[in-house]
Amino acid sequence: MNLRLPLPGTIHLLGSHHQRSEMQVVVTGAAGFIGSHLAERLARDGHHVVGIDNFAPFYDRSQKRRNAERLANLGITIHAADLVTDPLAPILSDVDALFHLAAQPGLSPSTTPEAFTRNNVRATERVVAHLDDHPTLRAFVYASSSSVYGADATVAEDGPLAPTSIYGETKLEGERIIDAASDHASWDACTLRLFSVYGPRERPDKLIPKAARCAIKCEPFPLFRGSEHHRRSFTYVGDAVDGLVAALDRFDQCAGETINVGTPRSVSTMEVLRCITDVVGRRLCIDRLPPREGDQQRTEARIDRARRLLDFEPRTSLLEGIRAEVDWILQVLDPRTVTPCGLS
């Protein structure tokens, strides 16, 4: 007989009471930015966490290795495995809940369309193929993106979907794969569309860490022409993780749902850059580049559903979040790369 563990979390929900119990939780992309924060939080909440990461060289692998070491110190096992080619059955054999965060990110021209399809579509297909009629899996939580909405991501979850980048297209395809699989599987799924997550351990090619490093090192910051007017719902990673964990703790309400998770306020790129210069204490020299295709013009998270189902409310201000990220960058930055003018 296969016994299902009760849903986690000690919460009062619709008059019912759910008792937290330890679960076997798998996190894909666990050595990455959001994945490492999520795995760490789940372990601290008392769950047995297992991570999967292929340590792809999209950016310096040393950052992921540091994340993996941090997780190992918490007793989390990280499997260096490729979701497309490596054996997954032994890792997924006893899983009770799975968070699928592994993905090919970004808009870099050096990333081929084939890489997005392989790592966002084929990998997702292979994960769900290993979960068909799974004896213990109860909850599948998929980390999707506001990019599925397209250039103007300011609508609720049932709004039009018109991605403008292959990243957005493949994340949307991932949603459809999981929805179709869960329709006839023994487990349920929930999709969270995350909005512009930032914070410590963020990928170095993203706006905030790149601009912060340029300010610290007195280097020009490359800014795509027109992007200074783009507006985003910048969401601190701790708040995003709160939403992800709440989806597991309240999975009886979230099963089958698609939920926006982000800050319900958008700010311009220029406002972000001003915050960075305030925190670093240095002016930022801008190197303007030609416009980049595929960029979103505006995102503003509509989170009524997240408030209702997840009791979600972001708590970290942009300035607080940037200060935390800059502090982290200063801790990991090689001091030999900082010029004498780097900090005032």
Catalogue the active-site residues.
Answer: 167
19/211 Cα distance (integer angstroms): 44
Token representation of residue 121: 């579509």
Q: Give the separation between CA 69 and CA 58, rounded to whole angstroms.
A: 19
The total number of residues shown for the chain amounts to 344
State which H helix or E strand residue 227 sits in. none
Is 190 exposed, middle or buried (CB count within 10 Å of its CB: 0-12, 13-18, 19+)? buried
Burial class (CB in 10 A: 0-12, 13-18, 19+), 52: buried
Which stretches of the chain are DSSP H helices?
Answer: 33-44, 61-72, 89-92, 113-116, 123-129, 166-184, 207-217, 237-249, 251-254, 269-280, 304-310, 318-332
d(CA 316, CA 289): 31
Residue 157 near residue 193 (C-beta atoms within 8 A): yes
Rounded to 5 degrees, what are φ and ψ at 36?
A: -70, -40
Q: Which of 312, 304, 190 is nearest to 252 (CA)?
A: 190
User: Residue 342 to residues 5, 160, 206, 219, 223: CA-CA distances in angstroms?
Assistant: 53, 45, 20, 9, 20
In the sheet that holds 298-299, the strands lie side by side as 152-153, 298-299, 231-232, 267-268
Contacts of residue 201, Cβ cutoff 8 Å, sequence gap at least 6: 33, 36, 37, 63, 67, 237, 328
